[in-house]
Amino acid sequence: MNRFDYLRAGTVAEAVAAGAEAGTVFLAGGTNLVDLMKGGVVRPSRLVDLTRLPGLDRIERLPDGGLRIGALVRNADLAHDPHVAATYPALAEALLSGASAQLRNAATAAGNVLQRTRCAYFADPASACNKRNPGAGCDARGGETRQHAVLGWSERCIATHPSDFCVALAALDAVVEIEGRGGRREVALDGFHRLPGEHPDRETVLEPGDLIVALRLPPEAAGFAAQSRYLKVRERTSYAFAVVSVCAGLRVEGERIAEARIALGGVAHKPWRAREAEALLAGADIDPALFRRAGEAAMAAAAPSGDNAHKITLAARLVARTLARAAEGRPSRLPALPASVFPAHIAGAPAHV
């Protein structure tokens, strides 16, 4: 690990000013950043510690029926908050399916949004990577690509975004609140992360010094409380990043779907909102055959970036399964292995409250 300076920010304004200087990165839970520093993947000259900033560790129910999640709220605290679990069950399911309990106790909401890709070539300083070293090339092209992108990728980068939490946030139309040198602004989560294009090193819309201060769910997100789920296919049932994941929410009136929300993880450089599939479902009756067509619509634009064509079929089928689970209604208790594609009784373990 290279030498670096350390600053503990006392105010948001102080953090923003310090973060605008070249070579500076923000530190909160550190569950991703510290690993990357140890591996020599990132080499900041200064860390700005945010953990003592006041007021950023609150979960606030807003007067309009929305929810505001402070940037420093721990993943575990958010997932186990009674209001969050009841009103945004897919969000809790996504959080509880990520990492281990120990990491969820340390990781923060904003840090989760800013996770770096788990592409093995990005994580290996000896490999060429346009994300880590712009213009160096991409050793993933022609390499081991089983876990790589099938939507929105470019010749410059085929990496995927690793977050579970962000997939649920995208489906629920979350908004990112940002404090920067120009003041406060808001960006829809769906537009916060960039596709790789020609500049995969530019992962988000953040500018130097910009600091995420909160995430906000609009009042409409609560309308999916009764029928929303998050499912995740992974190489092992716990402590693994998604091969493919899906968050689906339905707002049902009688037997008809008034509105649908679908977002996918593990398939692109950002959480992928499947708006074509949502449009197909709106106004239709609940029907397993319709859910299969929605899965196909969600992946209609997909193309392999290597030896990963299987992800297209897998994702389409997972969309259909997640929609079917959502239509059944949220479980009264989350399964012991949240986001597992297997029914709780097959998992053979007690459920979490």
What are the strands of the beta sheet with 183-188, ordered from one edge? 59-61, 67-70, 211-217, 175-180, 183-188
Residues 76, 213: one domain? yes
Candidate from 26-40, 64-78, 328-342 with smallest mean pLDDT: 328-342
Give the whole-number percent of the chain exceeding pLDDT 90.
89
Strand partners for 187: 176
* 124-166 pLDDT tens trace: 999 999 999 999 999 999 999 999 999 999 999 999 999 999 9
Is 353 part of a structural domain of the chain? no
pLDDT score for 233 = 96
Whether the predicted pLDDT of 98 surpasses 50? yes
Residues 67, 210: one domain? yes
Domain count, the chain: 3
In angstroms, what CA-CA distances link 223 with 191, 204, 250? 22, 28, 8
Residue predicted with more confidence, 350 or 305: 305
Residues 211, 64: one domain? yes
Whether the predicted pLDDT of 197 surpasses 60? yes
Residues 244, 302: one domain? yes
Residues 103, 199: one domain? yes
- E strands of 182-271, at which residues? 183-188, 211-217, 228-233, 244-253, 256-265
In whole numbers, what is the pLDDT of the chain averaged over residues? 94
Whether the predicted pLDDT of 352 surpasses 70? no
Whether the predicted pLDDT of 350 surpasses 70? no
Q: d(Cα 341, Cα 339) in Å, to the nearest integer?
A: 6
pLDDT score for 336 = 73
Close Cβ partners of 156 (under 8 Å, ≥ 6 residues apart): 130, 138, 196, 197, 198, 199, 200
* CB-based contact 282:301 (threshold 8 Å): no
Q: d(Cα 232, Cα 225) in Å, to the nearest integer?
A: 19
Is 130 part of a structural domain of the chain? no
3-state secondary structure of 208: coil
Task: Express the helix, strand and coil content of the chain in percent, nearest 5 each.
Answer: 30, 20, 50
Q: d(Cα 337, Cα 331) in Å, to the nearest integer?
A: 13
- E strands of 175-221, at which residues? 175-180, 183-188, 211-217
pLDDT score for 347 = 41
Residues 97, 204: one domain? yes
Is 124 part of a structural domain of the chain? no
Residues 318, 288: one domain? yes
pLDDT score for 236 = 83
Q: How confident is the model at residue 345 (pLDDT cuts 50, 70, 90)?
A: very low
User: Mean pLDDT across the stretch 301-329?
Assistant: 97
pLDDT score for 179 = 98
pLDDT score for 1 = 65
Whether the predicted pLDDT of 351 surpasses 50? no
pLDDT score for 114 = 97
Residues 66, 197: one domain? yes
CATH of residue 201: 3.30.465.10
Residues 178, 279: one domain? no
Is 128 part of a structural domain of the chain? no
Residues 26, 63: one domain? no
Is 154 part of a structural domain of the chain? no
* 7-60 pLDDT tens trace: 999 999 999 999 999 999 999 999 999 999 999 999 999 999 999 999 999 999
CATH of residue 282: 3.30.390.50
* CB-based contact 159:139 (threshold 8 Å): no
Structural Rg of the chain based on CA atoms: 20
pLDDT score for 346 = 45
Residue 117: name the closest of 86, 140, 143 by CA. 140
Residue 26: name the closest of 1, 40, 6 by CA. 6
Is 175 part of a structural domain of the chain? yes
Q: What is the DSSP string of 242-259?
A: -SEEEEEEEEEETTEEEE
* 236-291 pLDDT tens trace: 877 789 999 999 999 999 989 999 999 999 999 999 999 999 999 999 999 999 99
CATH of residue 41: 3.30.43.10
Q: d(Cα 62, Cα 49) in Å, to the nearest integer?
A: 28
- As given in the structure block, the two tokens for residue 181 are 């040198």
Place of tokens 């609009």: 218
> What domain range includes position 37?
5-49
Q: d(Cα 130, Cα 313) in Å, to the nearest integer?
A: 28
Residue predicted with more confidence, 70 or 338: 70
Is 133 part of a structural domain of the chain? no
Residues 10, 44: one domain? yes
Residues 216, 300: one domain? no
Whether the predicted pLDDT of 118 surpasses 50? yes
Is 196 part of a structural domain of the chain? yes
